């Protein structure tokens, strides 16, 4: 079966690349992806599916074989980033959005998997649910899909997703059992004081001064309240206040993130941020409110399922293209929300390093990042083969 799947993928590789380039050129960000959604649904119908939009830009399609069995979900995200693309690609996006995280590749790989599963439908023992999701970047897409019942009708037994990685050798898969990626809490601290003229600061309450003290005080959480053995990162990435150099404003706002491999630790840090901000502000005659903007839990890979799926990928590509890593990464991914509902696996696949080609290897989310399209043949084959083998093992 392995050689058959790889041959079939090669036969449709040109179409897969064309699909990816269309999605890339028409990049859309956020919850609403009308052009991308329409294209994905059109392709699924062309392949013989009856796709449904279960929430805005959330597309689901299913395929079942002749034998009863379990239901495996294959998920791809479709959203881009609000970044102006600065590549030399002939199919570059020019609308102010860019697929700088490879989600166009994910969608194209899953479309290719959909076509190949249709061609191999007689080998499916159970059901594959294909899920195309919006707004992974904003950490709301998976939650919206879950609220819309993506794991029901039919009820999903397990899930799988792949993510391409810039800077890694093309086709090499990386996997980790257990907690593989950090959870993230994005928060906002709003500090209020009393505006005044810069020449008479004693007549007001300076929120910039308060916010600066809060910023420094937050480092105490990591330095004195959390074990050095814990994986946690606290970042303030946005600080805005005032409009004129000689006016003390009435408000200062800080925005940041907590990244942690423990749900409990992340929640503890968020609670302490609020307590510290409020206390420091009060000490300087001001007021501070801390709010959570959005959050996602740590991503958890089911150990048994990861062992099984990585084994199938080794059958396809050999041991030299599948590696396990020991430490979780501190980046976050909203596929994590699915991993607490059903057993799941999430793997990264290399999409080009500078050693492969000087054009490749820039960081993800970079306005000039370029991915190696050859990764799609690896990813599409992985999705199809893993789905067929996982379902076959559980045939009723």
Instruction: Give the pLDDT confidence score for residue 55 in this predicted structure.
Output: 97
Q: What mean pLDDT comes out for the span 291-305?
A: 98
Cis before 154? omega within 30: yes
Decide: 239 and 214 in contact? Cβ < 8 Å: no
Decide: 206 and 251 in contact? Cβ < 8 Å: no
Among all chains, which residue has been given the structure tokens 């009723």? 396
| Residue-wise pLDDT tens digits, 33-65 | 999 999 999 999 999 999 999 999 999 999 999
| Residue-wise pLDDT tens digits, 277-289 | 999 999 999 999 9
The two structure tokens encoding residue 310: 């990585």
Phi/psi of residue 92, each to 5°?
A: -60, 150
Q: What mean pLDDT comes out for the span 141-157?
A: 98
Helices (H), the chain: 2-11, 13-25, 34-46, 103-119, 141-147, 207-220, 263-283, 303-317, 336-339, 375-393
Across the strands, what pairs with 59? 53, 132
Decide if pLDDT at 356 tops 90: no
Q: Give the DSSP letter of residue 179.
A: E
Q: What mean pLDDT comes out for the span 156-172?
A: 97
Residue 7 pLDDT level (bands cut at 50, 70, 90): very high
Q: What mean pLDDT comes out for the span 240-260?
A: 98
Lowest mean pLDDT among 14-18, 193-197, 353-357: 353-357
Phi/psi of residue 137, each to 5°?
A: -60, -35
Decide if pLDDT at 319 tops 90: no
Neighbours of 186 (CB within 10 A): 19
Instruction: Give the pLDDT confidence score for residue 97 in this predicted structure.
Output: 98
User: What's the mean per-residue pLDDT of the chain?
Assistant: 97
Alpha carbon distance 345, 153 (integer Å): 21
| Residue-wise pLDDT tens digits, 66-102 | 999 999 999 999 999 999 999 999 999 999 999 999 9
Among all chains, which residue has been given the structure tokens 């990386």? 174
Among all chains, which residue has been given the structure tokens 């006016």? 247
């Amino acid at each position: 079966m392995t050689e058959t799947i790889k041959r079939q993928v090669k036969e449709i590789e040109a179409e897969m690349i064309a699909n990816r380039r269309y999605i890339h050129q028409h990049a859309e960000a956020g919850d609403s992806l009308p052009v991308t959604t329409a294209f994905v649904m059109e392709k699924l119908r062309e392949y013989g599916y009856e796709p449904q939009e279960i929430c805005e830009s959330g597309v689901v399609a299913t395929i079942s074989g002749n034998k009863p069995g379990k239901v495996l979900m294959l998920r791809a995200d479709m959203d881009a980033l609000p970044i102006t693309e600065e590549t030399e690609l002939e199919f570059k996006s020019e609308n102010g959005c860019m697929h700088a995280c490879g989600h166009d590749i994910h969608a194209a790989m899953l479309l290719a998997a959909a076509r190949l599963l249709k061609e191999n439908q007689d080998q499916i023992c159970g059901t594959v649910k294909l899920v195309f999701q919006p707004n992974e970047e904003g950490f709301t897409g998976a939650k919206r899909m879950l609220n819309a019942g993506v794991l029901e009708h039919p009820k999903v037994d397990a899930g799988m997703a792949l993510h391409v990685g810039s800077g890694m050798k093309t086709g090499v898969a990386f996997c980790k059992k257990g907690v593989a990626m950090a959870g993230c809490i994005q928060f906002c601290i709003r500090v209020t004081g009393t505006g005044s003229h810069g020449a008479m600061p004693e007549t007001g309450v300076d929120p910039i001064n308060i916010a600066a003290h809060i910023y420094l005080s937050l480092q105490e959480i990591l330095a004195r309240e959390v074990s050095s053995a814990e994986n946690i990162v606290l970042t303030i990435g946005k600080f805005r206040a005032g409009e004129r150099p000689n006016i003390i404003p009435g408000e200062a706002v800080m925005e940041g993130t907590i990244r942690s491999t423990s749900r409990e630790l992340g929640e503890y840090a968020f609670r302490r941020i609020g307590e510290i901000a409020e206390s420091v502000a009060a000490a300087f005659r001001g007021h501070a409110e801390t709010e959570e903007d959005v959050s996602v839990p740590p991503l958890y890979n089911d150990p048994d399922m990861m062992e099984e799926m990585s084994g199938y990928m080794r059958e396809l590509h050999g041991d030299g293209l599948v590696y396990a890593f020991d430490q979780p990464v501190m980046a976050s991914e909203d596929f994590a929300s699915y991993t607490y509902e059903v057993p799941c696996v999430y793997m990264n696949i290399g999409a080009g390093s500078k050693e492969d080609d000087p054009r490749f290897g820039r960081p993800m989310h970079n306005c000039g990042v370029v991915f190696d399209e050859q990764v799609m043949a690896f990813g599409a084959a992985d999705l199809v083969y893993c789905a067929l083998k996982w379902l076959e093992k559980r045939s009723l």
